[in-house]
Amino acid sequence: MTTAIAADGIRKRYGDVQAVDGVSLTVEAGEFFGLLGPNGAGKTTTLEILEGIREADAGRVELLGLPPWPRNPALLPRIGVQFQASAFFDRLTARETIRTFASFYGTAARRADDWLERVGLTGSADVRTDRMSGGQAQRLSIACALVHEPELVFLDEPTTGLDPQARRNLWDLLRDINAEGRTVLLTTHYLDEAEVLCDRVAVMDHGRVLRAGPPAALVRELDDTVRVSVDSGLLDPESARELFAAAGAEVAAVQDDGVLLSVATRDPAPVLAVLAERQALRGLEVRGPTLEDVFLHLTGREYRA
C-alpha cells in the first residue's frame, strides 16, 4: 500500500493558542479517513496544513510523497480541496461556478457538466449559488473539489447543516468517490457518519491526536458497559439494583428517567434473566458502546452536533 498522507509532529500556534500540538498521522492510498474532535480541537488547522494552504511552525508533511508547503504546483492537479460554500463567486450560477473551477485545471466544460449531473444539480445548473439551498451548495462545493478528478480529496464538514435525507444522499456520493480509488480525508461533527463511512478515524482534542484506528477497533478497545433499557415504571430502580446483585450481576448504574429504566452493566445475561423473571421486558433495548462513547471517554466532553 502506498502512503497518501504522512504527517509527523506538526505544530501550529496562534498567539497564545497552541492550535496543533504535535500531530502525526498516516493515511494510506485509497483509505477513507476521518478527523474527529470537539470544536476548537485543531481539526481545520491540521487539515489546512496537510492541504498546503497553511504553513506549520514545525513538523513534516508529505502528500503523495511530496511536501505540500511551500505551495507545490505538481500536487495541485492531484488533490481536491472542498471550499466552504460561502466562498463561491458572487452572482455566478452553479454551472458557471463549476466551469470556472474546471478552467483552473484545463478541464473541459463537458466534464464540469458531468459532475453537476453526478451530484444531482443538472436541474439547478442555472440557479445562482447565493440562491441555492444548503444541500445544493454543499453538493456543488464537493463537485468543484472533484472536477479535475483528483486522487486525494479533502472535505471539511461536508454534511454539516443538511437534513438527514440529504446527508444520506451525500454519504452515497462520498462512498462512490472512495470506491473509485480516491483517498478521502474528511472532518466531521457527526460520529454516526464517521462510523459508517470511515476506514479509520483519528480523535483529536487540544491540538493532539488522542487515538487513531478503525471505528470498530476503537469501540472494542473501550470495553465499555452495555446499556440495557426497558420501559420506565416496570421495576423501581432500588429494588432492581437489589435483584441484580442477588443474581450476581455486576451493575455500574441503574436509573429511571421517567421514560426508560436503564441499566449499565458488563454482565447483561443475569440482568436480562432478572428482567425476564419479573416480566419487565416491555420496550427492551440492549445497546453496545458506539463511537460516541469512545469520543466521550477520550475527550471527556459530551458530543455536540
Ligand X SMILES: Nc1ncnc2c1ncn2[C@@H]1O[C@H](COP(=O)(O)OP(=O)(O)OP(=O)(O)O)[C@@H](O)[C@H]1O
Q: Which residues bind ligand X (CB under 6 A)?
A: 14, 17, 19, 37, 39-45
Cβ of residue 101: shortest distance to ligand X, in angstroms?
A: 24
Q: Which CB atom, from 206 or from 220, has the smaller least distance to ligand X?
A: 206
Strands laid side by side in the 208-213 sheet: 79-81, 152-156, 183-187, 32-36, 200-205, 208-213
Nearer to ligand X by C-beta: 123 or 134?
A: 134
Cβ atoms of 120 and 151 within 8 Å: the answer is no
- Report yes or no: 59 and 8 within 8 Å, Cβ to Cβ: yes
CA 13 – CA 54 distance, rounded (Å): 12
Closest approach, Cβ 292 to ligand X, in A, equals 16
CB closer to ligand X out of 40 and 233: 40
Least distance to ligand X from the beta carbon of 28, Å?
23
What H or E segment, with its residue span, contains residue 154?
strand 152-156
144 sits in the region (left: phi over 0; alpha: psi -120 to 50; else beta) called: alpha
Q: In sequence order, what DSSP letters do the residues of 13-82 get, joined into one string?
A: EETTEEEEEEEEEEEETT-EEEEE-STTSSHHHHHHHHHTSS--SEEEEEETTB--TTT-TTTGGGEEEP
Dist. CA 237–CA 167, nearest whole Å = 39
Place of cell 505544530: 11
Which residue bears the cell 483517498? Answer: 183
Shortest distance (Å) from residue 247 CB to ligand X = 45
Which of residues 44 and 72 has its CB atom nearest to ligand X in the complex? Answer: 44
Shortest distance, position 249 Cβ to ligand X, whole Å: 40
Give yes or no for a contact between 54 and 42, defined as CB atoms under 8 angstroms apart.
Answer: no
Smallest gap from Cβ 209 to ligand X, in A, equals: 12
Q: How far apart are CA 118 and CA 122, in angstroms?
A: 8
Q: How far is the CB of 95 from ligand X (least distance, A)?
A: 30
- Specify the residue, 10 or 144, whose C-beta has the smaller distance to ligand X: 10
